[in-house]
Structures are given as structure tokens and as C-alpha cells.
Amino acid sequence: MISLFLNCAKVWTHLVKWLCRITGRPHVTLSREPIPVRTSAKEPA
Amino acid sequence: MTATDTRTAEPDVLLLPENPPRLGPISRRLLMRPLAILVVMQALGAWLVFGNGSDTSVAAGLSLVFPGGGLLFVASPVLFAVSILLMVLALVLWWGLSAHAAIPTAWLVCLGAAVALVDGPRVWGDRGETWGWAISAVYALTAAALVGVVWRFEKRYRAKKRRIPELNAYLSSVELPHREPMVREPDQMDAELARWCHDLAMQPDDGLKGLDWGEQFHGGTQLRYQLNAFCWAMSVYAVNFVPNAPVQVERSLARLVEKHTDLRVWRYWRTLNLLGNFDPNPDPIVRDNIMFSAFFGDVINMYEAATGSDRFDRPGSLTFVWKDGRTFEYDHHSITAAVRKNFDRSALGFFPCEPGWSFTVCNIMGAQSLLGHDTLHGSDEWAQVKPRWQRTLDEEYLTPDGSYAHIRSNHLGLSWDTGEVPGGHYFSNGSNRFADILPDHARRAAALELRGALPKLGALAGMVKGGRLELELPEVPERHRTRSSALPSWNNVIAGSRATGHPDLHLAALDASSRQCATGKRWPERPLKAGASALAAHMLIRWSAPLSTATLNVRGYRPPAGPVLDATSWDDVLVIAARSADGRSLRMTLEPWHAPQPAPVSFTFRQLEPGTTYRCSVDGVVVGELVAEADGRASMSFPVTSRIVVEVTP
């Protein structure tokens, strides 16, 4: 085992917060819109 | 009482190996790969630096020896610093998104930049200037980095190894606290939390309102874990609080299980599969992704063990539909089979969450998912996997002090403290903490975990006066760091008091946590001030007595004894509790769900003794009698305008 220390989890969280800030997306919300999907290929159109 | 007694005899606690190796055989073999790559790069770098002599060759060689080393040689210290940051970013992306190409790519970009700048302009100095001292500096940095890594690893290994005699002496003599099975009457917070879960479940099919929505990879906002935890919590609620009225909770649980197939929950996998496996298949079950497949398998185990329903055993009952209409049809059996297949094909013995990264916690969930399926369906998946699985746990992941490494690379055998869990190690993890899959390991882990906690919880127990704990705990940031709450700290106290056999502290902490964290709000807002993960963990801890998820995974489904509430206006009345203490009578706590029900609501019971007359009382006042038909059924009507306690006794 190589024991380095880099708090990846913390860097990741800050990275995500930063990306959310520059893209104008909320970091955490209570809901988001469903993703539209095409009708299942196994179901009749 | 319908729930079973969970007391068992306590055998001796497993001791730690006295002379553990630094690495297990598979990890050692895997580690040869990065070491070989490192040796080749150093040899090639040395040849370029010392064998040719041109500036371009030296810049390229130093860039191989140390990432960005050539940039220091071409007198670009700022770019050298940038290259270090780039490598840090690449490392984080390697871990976070399984971007296995990130580090080699960043390394090569830095090399390319150094070579391109050999004859280029300089910020400080003349065009084409080189710093000869950079050769020594780069080699010194490389040596320092390598020595630092080895020294740090060795220091930690030796420190842990030195503790083995002391820990084994402790484990030889420790007596684990005895936990009496606790049956608790639901309080108002239980009712509010149960209401919240039902509201979460009963929103429209494509509704997932009420969870913490954010990125789906690592940030503590993954919908899958939130849904898992609410399902576990509702499963123990079903079996501990409403075993004699399963219809309503089964309906809600089934809807929560089905919400796992919402594309927003599992869409992340295609990105990871593409980046980490170079595989564009979005199917979230078939390959790796144990953090979804195994957790989901375990959720279905709990659902079936709590309700007895075979709804998700039917082929295609859990169908995942991708954006383009492709469908991936699964059920309880095929999900279990996929988990088993992934275990079988993993050289390490544990299989990955994110491609290339095998986490201990997720593989514990994988083991649980196999065991639960065996319990419910008589298969022997866990028995088949167990010897190899345990060898991987004990030989590859165990560290000298009894803790397990959180993460390991399946490709390179590397582990490090990623910051996800304190120190990068834990004694146990997963929803059942080894209690079902490896009971001996569970006892050792519990003993090691409780070592420091016993005196602290004993002191807290001394603060309970008249059943009340006058204490407020500090708010701490939750995993996604956008909210702070005291609930995670309370969760530790509530779970710890239960584990250490302090029932008075347990009850007082439940009460104190409600007093400090209650919001008075209802879904989609939360009745307790906390993120969704902490809220779900709270419910799971709160409702895990007398039966825990571990007990349930070993026990499987048991039909309720005594009268069962079979039909009522399920959309109007919430069943907060329905239990039979003696197998003949029924005691229920009911509340109106959305609005008071002043008109009489019909309640139909089954499993009554045919021909027997039952007295029905509401809040202690007899409201009528019912006589069981030949099929053991009978009905009674009464209004439900507020919280009431109903008793049906022969």
C-alpha cells in the first residue's frame, strides 16, 4: 500500500462547487426535472 | 411480539495476526506494475538526461523522471508549479471519475510543454536559457517524493504493528456489552418521519422530490445512496413497528425500490464506464458498479425480508430505460447473479465501484446482497464466494491494527487516504458491519470501535436525569459541505448508546435529538434539520430495534403472528404502529395522513380466530365488538381525526 495523502474528497467537493458556480447550477437542491427518454424499444411506439 | 429475540451467546473475540505482511500476495503482484513502469521511466529519463546531452533530450528526460521536471530545466518555474497542480487534478480525476488516462496524459502534456519550450522565450531570462541546476533539483525532488512515500507507509505500518500485542491483550479480555432487544412505542417524531417516507414514496412515478440533488459521483449527493438508506430505514420500520399492517408500508417501499430505476439515479454509470472501462454500455448492473448493483440487491433483500413480497423476483420487474430507449431488464435473481459474476471474475477478489477501484464498504454490501438472496431463496451464492472474499479481506485489505483499507486499485494494487473516511481505514462498514456475513469479524470490529467510545458514552449516560438528556450537540458540515447539522453527531450517540448497552441514554438521545433538530416541517421539506443522508441514517438507527438490517438479512421473512390490519383507506390513514405482543391481540397507532377523517373509516382485519369475539377500543374506550368470520376476517369503523391508539383484543 502506498500511503500518500491528498484529500481527494475535499478537492472534489470544492471542484464541484466551483463548477456549479461558473455554470450557474445549484450545488444541492431538493429536486430536478426528469430526464426525457425515448419510448422503450420493446414497447410499441 | 412478532419480532424475534435477537440474543445470542457471545464466543471469544477474534485476535489480530501477530506478524502481518505489509501487503497481501495479490496486491504485491499488482504493485509490480506501477513499480515496473516507474523503473522504465527512470531508466529512460536517465538515458535521455545523461546519454545524449542536447537540451531537448534533457528536458524530455527530466520530465520523465519527475512530472514537469523538464519545465524547471527550461527556466519555467511557474509552469512547473502548474504541472504539479495538473498532476494533483489528474490524481483526483483518476480517483473520482476512473480517468485512468488522466495521470499519463498530464505527465505527457508536461513533457511536451517542456520540449516545446526548449528554444522558446522565457519570462525570467533570455530566450532558450536553461537551468543546469534543475537536473540535481529534479532528482532530489524525485528521491524526496519516493522516500517520503515509502517512509510514510513504513512508519504507519510499524506504528500499527507495534500496537498488536496491546490490542490482542485487549481483545482477549474484552467483554462486549450485552444488548437487550428493545421494543419502543413510536413517538411523535417517529410518526413525522414515517409520514415523510410515505410522502416521498407516494409522489408521482417520476418524482424524486425531497432528496439532496447534486453531482452523482462522489460529493455526498448521490441519489442512489439516499434511496438505499430510505429503503433500509423503511424496511426495519416495517418489521419492527408495523409488522401487523404490511399493506401500506409494502406499497411505499415498493415505490421507493422502483425509483432506483429512474434514469437520474443511474445515468452517472455510463460516464464512468466510458472513462474507466472504455465501454459505452450504460447498463448499470452488468459490469463493476458494485456501489449500485450490490446496494440495490441488498435493498431488495431487505424489502423482501420485511414484507414477504416476491414483486421484484419476477423477470423484468426492474427495468432500466436508457435515453435512447434501450432497456435493461432485471429482477432480484439476475441482479444477484450479476454481483456473483463480477466477484468471480475479479483477480483481486473484490470488484470495483468506479472502474478500477474496489472499496471495502461496497464489497461488504456485495457480500450482504448474496447472503440475503441465499436466505430468502435458498441459493448458496455467498457460501460459494465467502472463502475467497474473506481471504481478500484478511490478506489484502486488513492492516495490522484490525482496520481495513477503504480503497484499492484493481489494476495497480495502490491504496491511499482519499479523505472519504478518517485515516482512509475503518474497522467495519456497510449497513450491517460484518454482523451477518462474518460474525466473528463483526465482534472484533465492534470491540475495537468501542474501545475509546465506552468511557465517553458512559459519561453521557450519567448525564441522563429522569429520562432526559439536557444537551445540544454542535452542528458539523455534512458531506456535501453546503449544510451543517447536529443530526450526524446525534446519530453517533444514538447508535453508540445502543451498541454499548445504554438503553436509557438511547431513549434520551432520541428525545434530545428531536428537541434540537425538529423543524416542524413536512415533505418535501424535512422534519429534522439535516441533509437527506443524515436523515436517512437517523431513521435507520432509530428504527433498528429489536431487529436490525443484519438480523433481517440472516432471518429472512417471517409472516406476522396475530391479527393483521388488511384493508382500510390507505391514502387517508397512516399506520404508525401495528404489533401483536401476544400473538392474539393487536395494538395499533394511527394518524390521519393528509387531513382529519371525521367520518368513520372502515378497518378490515385478518388472521383473527374464527368465531371469536374481539373488543375494539380507541384510546382506551371500547368502541365496539367484532366477531371473526370463518375465514378469520372482520371489520370495524371509527373516525381518525388525530393520533389514536387502537386495541383489538379477544
Residue-wise pLDDT for B369-394, tens only, equals 999 999 999 999 999 999 999 999 99
With 0.90 as the threshold, say if the pTM is over it.
yes
**Cβ A28–B221 below 8 Å, yes or no?**
yes
Residue B6 has pLDDT above 50, yes or no: no
Q: How confident is the model at residue A45 (pLDDT cuts 50, 70, 90)?
A: very low
Q: Give the pLDDT confidence score for residue B203 in this predicted structure.
A: 95
The region, left, alpha or beta by phi > 0 then psi within -120 to 50, assigned to residue B68 is: left
Rounded to the nearest 10 degrees, how much is the dihedral formed by the CA atoms of B601, B607, B613, B618?
-40
Distance (Å) from the C-alpha of residue B201 to the closest C-alpha of chain A?
A: 14
Which of A8, A28, A34 is nearest residue B418 as measured by Cβ atoms? A8
DSSP state, B458?
A: H
Length of chain B: 650
Which residues 128-157 in chain B show a CB within 8 A of chain A? 149, 152-153, 156
DSSP B365-389: HHHHHHHHHHHHH---HHHHHHHHH
Length of chain A: 45
The region, left, alpha or beta by phi > 0 then psi within -120 to 50, assigned to residue B122 is: beta
What whole-number distance in Å separates Cα of residue B410 and Cα of residue B5? 41
Which of B214, B417, B481 is nearest residue A5 as measured by Cβ atoms? B417
Which residues 526-585 in chain B show a CB within 8 A of chain A? 531
Distance (Å) from the C-alpha of residue A33 to the closest C-alpha of chain B?
A: 9
Distance (Å) from the C-alpha of residue B523 to the closest C-alpha of chain A?
A: 10
B398: helix, strand or coil: strand
DSSP state, B396?
A: I
Mean pLDDT of A14-20: 89
ipTM of the complex: 0.82
Sole residue written with cell 456501489? B291
What whole-number distance in Å separates Cα of residue B376 and Cα of residue B374? 6
Q: Which residue of B has its CA nearest to A40?
A: B325
Q: List pLDDT tens digits, range B296-315.
A: 999 999 999 999 999 999 99
**Cβ B416–A11 below 8 Å, yes or no?**
no
Q: Give the pLDDT confidence score for residue A4 in this predicted structure.
A: 54
**Cβ A35–B264 below 8 Å, yes or no?**
yes
Residue B5 has pLDDT above 90, yes or no: no
Residue type (1 letter), B162: R
Question: What cell numbers appear for B344 in the block?
Answer: 468471480
Q: Give the pLDDT confidence score for residue A1 in this predicted structure.
A: 38
Q: Give the pLDDT confidence score for residue B634 in this predicted structure.
A: 98
Mention every residue, 6+ apart, whose C-beta is less than 8 A from residue A29: B213, B214
**Cβ B22–A41 below 8 Å, yes or no?**
no
Residue B355 has pLDDT above 70, yes or no: yes
**For chain B, what is the radius of gyration of the CA atoms?**
29
Mention every residue, 6+ apart, whose C-beta is less than 8 A from residue B335: B285, B293, B296, B297, B300, B318, B369
Which residues 262-321 in chain B show a CB within 8 A of chain A? 262-264, 267, 319, 321
Q: List pLDDT tens digits, range B487-544.
A: 999 999 999 999 999 999 999 999 999 999 999 999 999 999 999 999 999 999 999 9
Closest CA to B449 of B500, B490, B408: B500
Peptide bond into A36 cis (omega under 30): no
Phi, psi of B218 (to 5 degrees): -140, -5
Distance of CA B353 to the CA centre of its chain: 12
What whole-number distance in Å separates Cα of residue B426 and Cα of residue B405? 7
Q: List pLDDT tens digits, range B409-448.
A: 999 998 888 888 888 999 999 999 999 999 999 999 999 9
Residue B116 has pLDDT above 70, yes or no: yes
Question: Looking at the complex, does the CB of residue B422 fall below 8 Å from at least one CB of chain A?
Answer: no
Q: Which residue of A has its CA nearest to B206?
A: A34
Mean pLDDT of B171-186: 89
**Cβ B416–A10 below 8 Å, yes or no?**
no
Distance (Å) from the C-alpha of residue A18 to the closest C-alpha of chain B?
A: 12
Question: What cell numbers appear for B171 in the block?
Answer: 481483545
Question: Looking at the complex, does the CB of residue B103 fall below 8 Å from at least one CB of chain A?
Answer: no
Which of A2, A26, A32 is nearest residue B153 as measured by Cβ atoms? A2
What whole-number distance in Å separates Cα of residue B144 and Cα of residue B362? 35
Burial group, residue B51, by CB count within 10 angstroms (0-12, 13-18, 19+): exposed
Which residues 5-44 in chain A show a CB within 8 A of chain B? 5-13, 15-17, 26-32, 34-42
What whole-number distance in Å separates Cα of residue B209 and Cα of residue B526? 11
Which of A1, A8, A41 is nearest residue B419 as measured by Cβ atoms? A8
Q: Give the pLDDT confidence score for residue A13 in this predicted structure.
A: 86
Q: Which residue of A has its CA nearest to B92?
A: A8
Q: List pLDDT tens digits, range B64-96.
A: 999 999 999 999 999 999 999 999 999 999 999
Question: What cell numbers appear for A5 in the block?
Answer: 495523502
Mention every residue, 6+ apart, whose C-beta is less than 8 A from residue B387: none
Closest CA to B196 of B171, B230, B228, B160: B230
Question: What residues form DSSP beta bridges with B636?
Answer: B603
Distance (Å) from the C-alpha of residue B592 to the closest C-alpha of chain A?
A: 26
Q: Which residue of B has its CA nearest to A31?
A: B209
Question: What cell numbers appear for B450 in the block?
Answer: 468501542
Determine contact, residues B504/B468, Cβ cutoff 8 Å. no
Q: How many A/B residue pairs have CB atoms within 8 Å?
A: 130
